[in-house]
A and B are shown apart, each in its own frame.
Chain A
Amino acid sequence: LSSLPLQILLYVNGIYYIFYFLATLAMIIYKSQVFSYPDDLLAPDLAVLFLMAILEVPRLYLGFKGNLTEAEAPLGLSLGLTVGSVLLCVYLLLWQTYVLWADVLLNAVLLSAYGLESGLKVTAIAAFVS
């Protein structure tokens, strides 16, 4: 049986991610105007953000598909992509050039969502395999 909490969480994650992406982009623009943000430090931060956005789309799609079709392969792939997203999120939380308090909040919420999702995916895979 498909996991309902996982489904809800994936759906909410999708909506939250859109908000997160726009907010982080706006804050990077704000930081580049207000603080001294040389180009060779701005480029990696923007690259990480866009990479995370690119990873998120297949991750969520595979998650939806795997959960609804009760197949463990897409769910497993989604879990793998989640690991990558977690790493990028940790970068934005700790190793960005300027970490504002708002950055900390957004990234913490996203990380907790990822963590919860990973747990639910593992249980779902276990349920589907058996």
Chain B
Amino acid sequence: VAKLCVCDLLVAQCDINCCCDPDCSAEDFSLFTTCSVPVVTGDSQLCHQKAAVYSLDVEANPPERIFKIIDQVNPSIFCIHATNYKQAMYLKSPEIPTSENFDQLLAKFGGATFSAEPDSWNLDTDAQNPPDVNETYRYEYGVPVQTEDAFLRLPSPVVSSWCSDVNPAGFLVNQATKCIRSVNVEKCDSIQALSMLFYINSSILAVPKSSQMVNITVQSIVVQSQNGMRTLLSDVLRLPMVLDGLCINAVLGVNYHITHTDTGEIIEAAAAFVLGAISKEALSIEQSFEISFTQENTQPVPLSGNPGYVVGLPVRAGFRPQGYPFPAAFLFAALALCSNKHSQLTILQSTSTQDCLAAQGARAPVLFGYNMISGCKLRITAAMKCQPLAQTLLDVLKGQSFPEYVASFGDSQAQDVLDWVPITQLHISEQMISNTLQSSCQIPVSLGIEVKWTKYGSLVNPQAKIVNVTATIITTTLKQLPSGRERIIPITSSVVFTDISSPAEPGYKAWPTINIKLPFDFFYPFV
């Protein structure tokens, strides 16, 4: 104990205020103020042990260090009197690597984390533990889709924008990627990644580690010409070849559609190709890949959350068709068919031309949680008539089919009428002054959609629920222009998401009640 010193950190130098440091001389001790380590003992649980006590005598001039070894007694009746187990008092010494245990130690401690590697990445597990005949494997979410030689590849950019072919597609993970591939047009028929065969030649295993194969069928082939026009062709296999200095039938995009059962088996796989021609000067082309999973016998309706909306997913909306009284009947097919991409809640998308009348049709879906503002400029000439202009602007702002109802949860079913929130429409006129005649023409200049949402559910996992949607159209009077003059007015549309959730109330479980009842004959002799 006299030789132990916890504060002796510097070798061959005196540590400040370390009274047990052997490198310190008497002059150093006289400069100390306190002792950082006053007592050094062994395990304090022992009944008797030696302790080294260091203290500074500040009364003396110069101050000197006092070092005593005393017997420390643990007064507890449970102090350790003796122990026959030597290792109890010492720290465990680590295993020294030798040539026998080196491999095992390396496997255990050699990686970035001290845990075994997941089996799904190791294709040799069959050799180590032969699969049980009765055990069935199923695909689970995120597990790479296996093919007969490796994995189903979905080339995607890794680190940089260049295509990497070793990215596996995960089961039930819908992905869309774009990446750049470098090409040499003279040798384009030998570049594997440009030919259709590369993407469909290996068949997919229906379940992992089985021998059931699912061939990838060619669903459709679309040929894209140089100026972007696409033509649908028959699905005959077309291989790339060099023709007139162009490389034709090169794969520009692949879209995989995988159908699966609800138990995790893949039953069908189809690929839709976009082929194109690459000119001689091109050194690289951009390829786009997409994969989507559908369960058999269902219509794919993309959910925007389960149940609460997920930030970034589109807000689902739909119509109530005529003739259905609210809330009496169910609306199944009607709302379901209508809540597809074409009647989503959309907002005007700003284009580079910024001209409202030229940009009709470009709309962006409203994504939950993302406030958006967009706009365009409208050039008004004297010759324009007000009423048709107002109608056109309304179409530009609202789109072709502005929905009437918005789903309050990301997974609201069409049948549940109460899960859909009606869109409240407000019209506000910019000039509310009384001298403006009501009959003068008003044109809409701004559409503001305010979506009020609240947090619903438990405190640790709140779900977003849309409570109220208000679409406000602000109109202004169109003043007649003198002929020949023109005016440019800005048209804006915006979407704002406001969180109106009330603060959470903690809910506690009820106190357990103690139900004690004495048996009725408890006081037997006396009753």
The interface of chain A, by Cβ under 8 A from chain B, is 27, 30, 35-36, 41, 94-105
**Chain B residues positioned under 8 Å from A95 (CB to CB):** 84
Asked if B88 CB lies within 8 Å of chain A CBs, one says yes
Q: What is the CA–CA distance of A94 and B82 in the complex, to the nearest angstrom?
A: 8
B115 is an interface residue with CB less than 8 A from chain A: no
Looking at the assembled complex, report how far the CB atom of B91 sits from the nearest CB atom of chain A, in whole angstroms: 10
> Which has the most chain B C-beta neighbours within 10 Å: A27, A95, A102?
A102
Asked whether any CB of chain A lies closer than 8 Å to the CB of B83, the reply is yes
Q: Give which listed residue, A36, A41, A94, A100, contacts B78 with CB less than 8 A.
A: A100
Instruction: Please name 8 further chain A to chain B contacts, defined as beta carbons within 8 Å, in addition to the given A27-B78, A36-B87, sorted by A numbering.
Output: A35-B80, A97-B85, A101-B76, A101-B77, A102-B78, A103-B81, A104-B81, A105-B77
The answer to whether the Cβ of B4 comes within 8 Å of any Cβ in the partner chain is no
Q: Indicate if the CB atoms of A97 and B81 lie closer than 8 Å.
A: no
Contact B84 A101 (CB under 8 A): no
Binding site for A on B (CB under 8 A): 45, 47, 76-85, 87-88
B83 touches A98 (CB 8 A): yes
Inter-chain contacts of A103 with B (CB < 8 A) = 81
Residues of A within 8 A of B85 (CB): 41, 97-98
| Contact A30/B88 with A97-B83, A101-B47 known, Cβ cut-off 8 Å | no
A85 to chain B, nearest CB (A): 21
Residues of chain A with a CB closer than 8 A to B80's CB: 35, 98-100
A sample of 20 cross-chain residue pairs with beta-carbon separation below 8 angstroms, ordered by A number, consists of: A30-B78, A35-B80, A35-B88, A94-B82, A95-B84, A96-B84, A97-B83, A97-B84, A98-B85, A98-B88, A99-B80, A99-B83, A100-B77, A100-B80, A101-B47, A101-B79, A101-B81, A103-B81, A104-B81, A105-B77
Closest Cβ of chain B: how far from A110's Cβ, in Å?
16
CA distance A76 to B45 in the complex (A): 43
Nearest CB on A from B48, distance (A): 10
> Which residues in B have their C-beta under 8 angstroms from that of A105?
77
CB contacts (< 8 Å) of B84 on chain A: these are 95-97, 99
User: Cα distance A97–B77 when bound, in Å?
Assistant: 17
Q: With a CB–CB cut-off of 8 A, which chain B residues contact A36?
A: 87-88
Residues of A within 8 A of B82 (CB): 94, 98-99
Measured between alpha carbons, how far is A102 from B74 in the docked complex, in Å?
13
**Chain A residues with CB under 8 A of B83:** 97-99
CA distance A27 to B88 in the complex (A): 17
* Least CB distance, B45 to chain A, in whole angstroms: 8
CA distance A27 to B87 in the complex (A): 20
Q: How far apart are the CA atoms of A96 and B82 in the complex, in Å?
A: 9
A41 CA to B85 CA in the complex, in Å?
9
Q: Which residues of B contact A97 (CB under 8 A)?
A: 83-85, 88
B79 touches A100 (CB 8 A): yes
Question: How far apart are B71's CB and chain A's nearest CB, in angstroms?
Answer: 15
A104 to B79, CA, bound (A): 11
Q: Establish whether residues A101 and B88, one from each chain, have CB atoms under 8 Å apart when the complex forms.
A: no
CB distance from B49 to the nearest CB of A (A): 13
A35-B88, A36-B88 given; A99·B81 CB < 8 A: yes
Q: How far is the CA of A27 from the CA of B83 in the complex (A)?
A: 14
Residues in A neighbouring B47, C-beta threshold 8 A: 101
**Chain B positions within 8 Å of A96 at CB level:** 84
| Min CB gap B47→A, angstroms | 5
Report Cα–Cα, A100/B85, bound state, in Å: 13
Do the beta carbons of A102 and B77 come within 8 Å of each other?
yes
Report chain B residues within 8 Å CB of A30: 78
